[in-house]
Amino acid sequence: MFKNLHLRDYDFKLIFLVIAINTIGIMAINSANNSNVSRQIGGSVMGLFLMIVVSLLDYNVFLRFYWVWYAVDIALLLAVRIAGNTVNNSQRWFEVFGVRFQPSETAKILLIIFFAQFIMRYKEKINTLKFLFCFAFLAALPLYLILDQPDLSTTIVVFIIIAVMLFVGGISWKYILAAFAVLVPATIAFLSIILKEGQQLIDNYQRKRILSFIYPEKYVDDAYQQTNSVIAIGSGQLWGKGYNNDVIGSLKRGNFIIMPDTDFIFAVIGEELGFVGTLSVIVLLFLITFECLLIARRARDIAGRVIAAAMGTLIGIQTFFNLGVATFLLPNTGLTLPFVSYGLTSLVSLYIGLGFVLNVRFRSGQTGREKREVF
C-alpha cells in the first residue's frame, strides 16, 4: 500500500494551514459561545484523526465503492426528510447523542467522491448527450432533496461544485456556453418572480432575506443581523477591541450579533481581533483553497484532479458566501465559515474531504517520479 511512497510527497503545509485556521475558529467560538467550545475541540481532534487516516489509504480503494457512497448520500437525505428535526421551518438535522448531524454537509463530500469516479469511469463519453442526461439525473436527485429541506444556499453551493467537477472532467466548451445561455436568462427570470408577492418558488423567509439585502432601509428588521455584523467588523479597526473582551460597547457582549458562533463568527473576529484578525482568516482560507487547486493540477488521474478541485471550490465558494453575508455584500445565506464556525458535521466532513486531497497529493508524487524514470 505504501510502496514507492515518500514522506516528502506528503503535504504537511496543507495540514499546518488547516490546523491554524481551525485554531482561530476554536478561539472565536470560545469567545462567542463558550458552551460549544469543548464540542468543537472534540470535533477537531476527530476530524484531524480521520483526515490523516483517509490521506494514507489509496483513494482508489474508496472510489471502487462509489455507488455505495451515492446510495448512502441519498438514504441520509431521505431519512432527514422523513424523520429529521424541524428548526426555524427547516428540516435539516438529526439529533445524535445530543449532537446535531446535518446530512447535507456529508452530502457534499460523498457527492464529490461519487462524481469523481463516475466522471473518470466514463471520461470517454463525457461529451455525449447520454452521459450528460445521466449525469444531470444523478445530480438532480440530491439537489432536490437538499432544496426541499429547504436549504437554497447549500443547494447552490453543491450545484457549483458539481458544475466545476464536470468542467475539470473535460466537458466541451460548447456545452458550457449552452448552459450559460440557458442559466443566465433563467436566473434573471427566477429573481424577477421571487421578488413578487404571493410567489411559490421559495419560502417567505428566503424572499425577505433577498429583499432586505436590496432594500435594507425598508426591511430593517430582516437586515439587522447583517447591519450589526458590518458595524462590529468596522468597530474592531486595525487591532480589534481585544480577544474575549468585556467592553461595554461590544456588539457581541450586547447580544446584537445573532448566531455569533456560526453564521456571523467573522463579525466576532472582526470586532475582537480587528483588520489583522480578519485578514489572517481570509489569507489562510485562500491558501487552503489555492493549495487544493495546485494539487488538482498535479493529480495522477482525472478522479484525483476532480476531488482536489472540488474541495478547493467547496472551501473557496463557502468562504466567499459567508464573508459576503458578514460584510453585507450578499443576501443572508446561512452558510458557515469553513473550519471556523461551530458545526461538527461540517467540520468533520471538511477534514475528511481534505484527507482525500492529501491522499491525491501523496500519490501524485509517486506518479511524477515514475514519469521522470521513463524519460
Q: Is residue 2 scored above 70 in pLDDT?
A: no
Residue 92 DSSP SS3: strand
* DSSP E strand boundaries for the chain: 85-87, 90-96, 99-101
Q: Tell me what pLDDT residue 373 has.
A: 42
Cα–Cα distance measured from residue 224 to residue 89, given in angstroms and rounded to the nearest whole number = 20
Decide which of 312 and 1 is more confident: 312
Q: Tell me what pLDDT residue 4 has.
A: 63
Q: Is residue 319 scored above 90 in pLDDT?
A: yes
The grid cell for 13 is 503545509
Residue 209 DSSP SS3: helix
Q: Tell me what pLDDT residue 43 has.
A: 95
Q: Which of 1-10, 80-89, 282-291 has the lowest mean pLDDT?
A: 1-10
Nearest by Cα to 259 from 33, 71, 84, 83 = 33
Q: Is the peptide bond before 331 cis (omega within 30 degrees of 0)?
A: no
Please, what is the Cα angle at 161 between 266 and 181, to 5 degrees? 115
Cα–Cα distance measured from residue 262 to residue 322, given in angstroms and rounded to the nearest whole number = 10
Decide which of 102 and 288 is more confident: 288
What does the pLDDT average to over 51-56?
95
Q: Is residue 193 scored above 90 in pLDDT?
A: no
Cα–Cα distance measured from residue 93 to residue 104, given in angstroms and rounded to the nearest whole number = 9
User: Using 50, 70 and 90 to split pLDDT, how confident is the model at 150?
Assistant: confident
Q: Is residue 374 scored above 60 in pLDDT?
A: no
Q: Is residue 21 scored above 60 in pLDDT?
A: yes
Q: Is residue 195 scored above 60 in pLDDT?
A: yes
Choose the most confident range, by mean pLDDT, from 3-7, 253-257, 356-360: 356-360
Q: Is residue 24 scored above 90 in pLDDT?
A: yes
Mean pLDDT across the chain, nearest whole number?
89
Q: Tell me what pLDDT residue 366 has.
A: 55
Cα–Cα distance measured from residue 344 to residue 351, given in angstroms and rounded to the nearest whole number = 11
Residue type, 290: F
Decide which of 195 and 70 is more confident: 70
Nearest by Cα to 265 from 82, 49, 50, 33 = 33
Cα–Cα distance measured from residue 325 to residue 212, given in angstroms and rounded to the nearest whole number = 12
Q: Is residue 88 scored above 80 in pLDDT?
A: no
